[in-house]
Amino acid sequence: MGVRFSPQLIDEIKSRVNIVEIVGQYVSLRPSGRNYVGLCPFHSEKTPSFTVSPDKQLFHCFGCQTGGDVFAFLMKRTGISFSEAVQQLAQRAGIDLERLVHSPVDAARERRRQQLLEINRLASGFFRQMLHGPAGAAARDYLARRAIQPAMVERYQLGFAPAGDVFARFLAKQGVSPELAVEAGLLLPGRDGRPPYPRFRERLMFPIADQAGRVIGFGGRLLVDRAGAPKYLNSPETPLFSKGRVLYGLHLAREAARKTGVVIVVEGYMDCISLCQHGVPNVVASLGTAFTDMQAQALARVAERVVIAFDADAAGQAAARRTLDILRKAGLRVAVMQLPIGQDPDEFARRHGPEAVARAVAGAVPLVEYKLQQVLPVTGAVSVEAKARAVEAALAVIAEVESAVEQEGYMELVARRLGVSMDTLRVEMARISGNDHAGPARHRMGKIRHNNRGFPGEQGEQTSRGGRAAGGDRLLGAEQVVLRHILAGDSPARVLAELDGPDVWSSPVVAGAVRLLAGRPAGAVQDPAAWLLGLPDTAEANWLREVWAQGALAEVPWQEALHSLKQERIRQRLASLERQLSALEVEGGAGAGMLARLLVEYKRLRSDLFGA
């Protein structure tokens, strides 16, 4: 819902509900000493290792190590979000959330969200009607060519956006203001004084829904040739829709994913629908190529295992870019479904049918194995140099595995494939993980990453769960990218100067890290790793080492990261102004001058941010 809950409210709710009672609705519990035990709902077991402690108001499973408070239980068991869990439990506890969390500004924002939801609902209905009417013939042809059945058209609520301004006229007739339709991302502002016109024209429409199944945005596939127009177009970022937060089809896949413990992730809308039609209802599509933490967490709430079904090239790239590691970090087991080169999941499903799809899902290889396949040569007859390179690359993959037993198993596999003895591999492994000159940097950084999943600056940041974390994550990401570029010496020094200021950085640790960077000697730019290693063992230096170790982040251009960093600052300032404004509104008459001053700043910042 986008509302923020104070820690006091969370504690209040916890103190008023009984975790034993809530968990007891889903798990049959029996008393055991001070606690209650039962069969774990998160993994399959015959003897109970799932424990609920009424004293601590926590649950824990000794079998699968799942645990947490009553909110965590509901989120994991029913797939709802944190704020939905808060709302459910507040209602149960008889706490009036509306009154507590809705300041005047929040209430206005909530009304706006409801209006935007309503427009999306209207739009979705209109597009569906168009698909089945005379205008939708081309779209129906396209669906027939792709062999999409009516049941899937219904399930995914597919539609058609007609040419011209038919849709704009429809909205006007429904009494929707053009301004609101622009904010919803459905109309584009008209150029040269002309009225706003539809963003989606002559496109097959895929409504994108939230967890509750409400339409929050659209994807559209162009059905005609139009110069300069992209084949696929998504809704822009709106107060409802954020690409990094949603997964296409998740609300439809949830039930089947929970039943099987597996969710299949594809890239495109058509891949998703096609797999569903071919017997895989637990399928979602990632709307971009790189996963976000938020998407990974959404998946972790419905399944333990993720099978990536990208086409061969994309899967390779995703693995190389560590996007799959984001899923792993969310506690998911990741496997890669292997498709014939040049075939996407849709094509594969249509050509080979449901049985082949089921076999491919079942035969998905674990992430580590997949990465090993990428680096090991196909045949045994390779040069000594190629063998040495393959050993090094393979051991780097194996070094990421946490279990020593699994490491040993994978090393045996490599030994067999490359015709190298286990002793040789052990010596090599020891060398790359810390006994020679090149080793320490990697080893040390790996260790930091492992021990310290959150960044040092993150701890003090999350004063409330849910709402606050989102902005924090985005900000941390941008900060890391900017600093990584500065470390690598590929952004000009003036970037640092531009970011100088008391509250530019998210925490004192990051600010300290920036000071370290600003004061580094000239030689540090040539060899950042050596400089970083020479730094003392402080939180600031560790933060920088961690940033350096996250090499893949640097794929985002620094200009882009810098931009989002600044935007986030403005957003935070806006939020703080909104709080001050609503406080003044509550106070009434007093502080009229203050109110005027804040409003001026508020308007200026909003126009900075939205260009309005």
Residue labelled with tokens 């068991």: 77
Between 61 and 75, name the residue whose CB sits nearer to Zn ion. Answer: 61
Q: Is 43 in the site for Zn ion (CB under 5 A)?
A: yes
Distance CA 205, CA 161 (A): 6
Residues in the chain: 612
Least Å distance, CB 50 to Zn ion, is 6
Least Å distance, CB 51 to Zn ion, is 10
Size of the site for Zn ion (CB under 5 A): 6
Between 19 and 86, name the residue whose CB sits nearer to Zn ion. Answer: 19
Q: Is 63 in the site for Zn ion (CB under 5 A)?
A: yes
163 token code pair: 């040419």
Least Å distance, CB 329 to Zn ion, is 20
Between 29 and 368, name the residue whose CB sits nearer to Zn ion. Answer: 29
Least Å distance, CB 557 to Zn ion, is 43
Between 61 and 205, name the residue whose CB sits nearer to Zn ion. Answer: 61
Between 49 and 88, name the residue whose CB sits nearer to Zn ion. Answer: 49
Stretch that binds Zn ion, among 54-62, 94-102, 123-131, 564-572 (CB under 5 A): 54-62
Between 38 and 528, name the residue whose CB sits nearer to Zn ion. Answer: 38
Q: Could you tell me where the beta strands, DSSP code E, fall in 109-242?
A: 159-161, 187-188, 197-198, 203-209, 215-222, 232-234
Residue labelled with tokens 């409003």: 599
Distance CA 454, CA 457 (A): 8
Least Å distance, CB 334 to Zn ion, is 20
Least Å distance, CB 465 to Zn ion, is 23
3-state class percentages of the chain: helix first, strand second, coil last, to nearest 5: 60, 10, 30
C-alpha pair distances (Å), 260 with each of 27, 284, 290, 353: 18, 14, 25, 20
Least Å distance, CB 81 to Zn ion, is 22
Long-range contacts of 270-274 (CB under 8 A, 24+ apart): 270/146, 270/148, 270/221, 270/346, 271/309, 271/344, 271/345, 271/346, 272/156, 272/248, 273/148, 273/152, 273/156, 273/158, 273/249, 274/146, 274/148, 274/345, 274/346, 274/349, 274/350
Q: Which of residues 129-158 bind Zn ion (CB under 5 A)?
A: none
Q: Which of residues 358-387 bind Zn ion (CB under 5 A)?
A: none
77 token code pair: 């068991």
Between 40 and 298, name the residue whose CB sits nearer to Zn ion. Answer: 40
- Helix (H) / strand (E) element for 32: namely strand 30-32
Distance CA 431, CA 429 (A): 5
Q: Is 442 in the site for Zn ion (CB under 5 A)?
A: no
Q: Is 64 in the site for Zn ion (CB under 5 A)?
A: yes
Least Å distance, CB 60 to Zn ion, is 9
Stretch that binds Zn ion, among 58-66, 67-75, 182-190, 598-606 (CB under 5 A): 58-66
Between 63 and 471, name the residue whose CB sits nearer to Zn ion. Answer: 63
Least Å distance, CB 66 to Zn ion, is 5
Residue labelled with tokens 């001058």: 593
Q: Is 59 in the site for Zn ion (CB under 5 A)?
A: no
Q: Is 176 in the site for Zn ion (CB under 5 A)?
A: no
Q: Which of residues 462-521 bind Zn ion (CB under 5 A)?
A: none
Stretch that binds Zn ion, among 59-67, 290-298, 326-334, 463-471 (CB under 5 A): 59-67
Stretch that binds Zn ion, among 57-65, 231-239, 251-259, 399-407 (CB under 5 A): 57-65
Least Å distance, CB 284 to Zn ion, is 24
Stretch that binds Zn ion, among 38-46, 495-503, 530-538, 552-560 (CB under 5 A): 38-46
Strand, coil or helix: what is 454?
coil
Range list of H helices, 133-191 = 137-145, 150-155, 166-173, 178-183
190 token code pair: 């008209």
Stretch that binds Zn ion, among 61-69, 207-215, 256-264, 316-324 (CB under 5 A): 61-69
Judge whether 349 and 291 are in contact, CB under 8 Å.
Answer: no
Least Å distance, CB 463 to Zn ion, is 31
Distance CA 304, CA 335 (A): 11
Distance CA 51, CA 67 (A): 9
Judge whether 228 and 172 are in contact, CB under 8 Å.
Answer: no
Q: Which of residues 532-591 bind Zn ion (CB under 5 A)?
A: none
Between 42 and 348, name the residue whose CB sits nearer to Zn ion. Answer: 42
Stretch that binds Zn ion, among 36-44, 181-189, 506-514, 565-573 (CB under 5 A): 36-44
| Contact with Zn ion (CB under 5 A) among 27, 29, 37, 42 | 42
Q: Is 61 in the site for Zn ion (CB under 5 A)?
A: yes
Least Å distance, CB 333 to Zn ion, is 14
Least Å distance, CB 62 to Zn ion, is 8
Stretch that binds Zn ion, among 64-72, 115-123, 225-233, 553-561 (CB under 5 A): 64-72
Least Å distance, CB 25 to Zn ion, is 18
Between 61 and 215, name the residue whose CB sits nearer to Zn ion. Answer: 61
Q: Is 27 in the site for Zn ion (CB under 5 A)?
A: no
Transcribe 10-31 into DSSP letters. Answer: HHHHHHHS-HHHHHHTTS--EE
In sequence order, what are the residues at sequence separation of 6 or more whose Cβ sits closer than 8 angstroms to the Cβ of residue 460?
A: 507
- Beta bridge partners of residue 204, listed in sequence order: 160, 221
Distance CA 117, CA 214 (A): 7
Q: Which of residues 316-335 bind Zn ion (CB under 5 A)?
A: none
Judge whether 606 and 612 are in contact, CB under 8 Å.
Answer: yes
Distance CA 199, CA 387 (A): 54
Stretch that binds Zn ion, among 60-68, 111-119, 377-385, 473-481 (CB under 5 A): 60-68
Q: Is 181 in the site for Zn ion (CB under 5 A)?
A: no
Least Å distance, CB 38 to Zn ion, is 10
Number of C-beta neighbours around residue 405 at 10 A: 8
| Contact with Zn ion (CB under 5 A) among 13, 40, 80, 390 | 40
Binding site for Zn ion (CB under 5 A): 40, 42-43, 61, 63-64
